[in-house]
Chain A
Amino acid sequence: MKFLTWATDPWGKAVPIHAAWDLIWVALIAGLLFMIVHALYVAIAAGPKVFAKNEAPAAAAAAVPERVPRHSLAARLFHWVMAASMLTLLFTAFLPMVGVRFNWVLYHWIAGLVLTVSILFHVIHSTFFMDFWSIWPDRIDVRDAMRRTFRFLGKPAPAPQRFAKYPLENKLYHLVIVFAGLAVIGTGLFMMKRIQTIFFIRNPYIFSDMTWGLMYVLHGLAGVGLIALVMVHVYMGVRPEKLPITKSMIFGWMSKDFYLEEHDPERWAVEKSSTAKKRGYAASDAD
């Protein structure tokens, strides 16, 4: 199977023009396979989660409120706006490829701008108003990932610690989404120069045909990759054991029990604040 579609430009040079759209099916199948394999693994092979014995001291546990705040309203709004724009982008991009006819370009670039603005907001918000480093993998994550791998392979290794605010899987997913998202946004903004919008005078000659071609290829490959990534994300979001995390993205908080079961208070500290106490919430970086 070819990964790229090539064409000959007016000067006789072969230039890539976009990713091969058969990759849509590859992404769909890859996403589907991941779900099936993961579901089978969890149902058949995976044992109960085992963490190192580092439960919070009774006094510290008592200080944890019944509702542990995880995502502020701003963070949740960002997430759902981004999700809506991402789904719009994927559907408007790929439905026409499978024969559904509609005026997709208009909706696509509008959704792209919504995504861009929401991500700009997220970057500023997470940098200055949240615990910026909480979403990036750290040394403990790497060490615990190795421990879990060894234990899965039956080799002796200490049990991993409980998670910080985000499990390593969340952090890695975020990392991949950052790259894929920046690729589609960066290329997409330039591609707006090639269509009629209210923002630019159309001019395809700001780059060479080869540069444009590579840009379209990168946009397409990242877009196709996002199909699988979004499928996996939605699947994880509806898995029973992940529902408390999903609910926290809707309501903003997770239960004390789930927090103490999965998260390490030393790595993600929460405590009742004076105002939060009145609402039965705790103060954390999400406040």
Chain B
Amino acid sequence: MRKLVASAIALAASAFVAVAPTASSAKTITLCWAAWDPANALVELSKDFTAKSGVDMKFEFVPWPNFADRMLNELNSKGKLCDLLIGDSQWIGGAAENGHYVKLNDFFGKEGIKMDDFMPATVLGYSEWPKGTPNYWALPAMGDALGWTYRKDWFAKPELRAEFKKQYNRELEVPKTLDELTDIAKFFQGRDVDGKKVYGAAIFTERGSEGITMGVSNFLYPNGFKYDDPKKPYAMEGFVNSAGAVKGLEAYKALYKCCTPPGYTDAYMGEGLDAFKSGQVALQMNWFAFFPGLYKDEKVGGDKIGFFVNPKGPAGSGSQLGGQGLSVVSYSPNQAEALAYIKWFANPEIQKKWWSLGGYSAHKAVLNDPGFAKTAPFAADFLVAMGQVVDFWAEPSYAQLLLAEQKRIHDYVVADKGTAKEALDGIIKDWTKVFKDDGKL
């Protein structure tokens, strides 16, 4: 027994020794991002930076459902884990006003990095705060928008084409409107294809972070939903809950109810990828960021997969903006090296390599290149999408606004509470309260 106690004490003592902080090397910086395909591409790309500057790169990747929580927590606790952070576009307001990011105007000026070299939608979405003013807090790093993939091989099957034509009196093609998309989903729901039962569409329904809001926006924007009056900021009545917005929300719920796989009540990017890759669904809503990886997939890639941009609605078109900007964390002790990384990353040659590895460059040198649309089957759709992107609020209290919409939309779409108009009215009520607390209303 004595020996047991002695060894336990030794173990505990060593625990305290293990706790002592180790000396950190000044030549390593940590970049934090979400754990997804483009992050792996960035690891590969960054080897060039290490070769050129001698600074080693460490990476901290967190899966999307936990990314916002963990990183915002990190920033709010003034953590030193990240020197560079590729943060979501919605965080810009909070990060700028609470001093989490380093303002980059001076650095850009000194190093000759011009925001004009980047696509305007990305500069507005990922770098500027306040919006529409030349105050830059990030370098646009990853352009992204919500798009769709579909099983091209299923669409090519003659028997399915014939059946579809008979039912809907038009060809089984890429849908041009949201209604056409719903028809296609209905057509495939429960159908036997290649000996297995398949379902219509994999859409976003995630409750915890931002999933269902991102998904429903793709149906709301083309139906006329606006966050506020373009002429009167924060005036939401009639814009958030316009008749078109109500119809759009109802259509999303109808699509969820009729044409999704069983148990699809809390699904986001990962679940969509799993559903599509395992051959469960004909259509998949997901970020363009995943399309390079899907195209290379051995089971559903290549000829089997096709892509299309978010279809039109009665009020026009719109795609939910994704994407992130690269920022320097103001609590980092290695800001010089972090800024050097940004300078390296902004180089047009590096941007071209970034695109070739699977990262969506926002640099005009890449996107405006005449051959760009042919570089990948989804490239042309990406350009169209980026031309019609709409983003969620980037206010400092964006999290409250997002959580309110998450709750109301999930309550209506998945938990069958109330009507679409009540959900949207509820969102206006919640958002008004937030803006009043902030002094904006």
Q: Do A and B come from one complex?
A: no
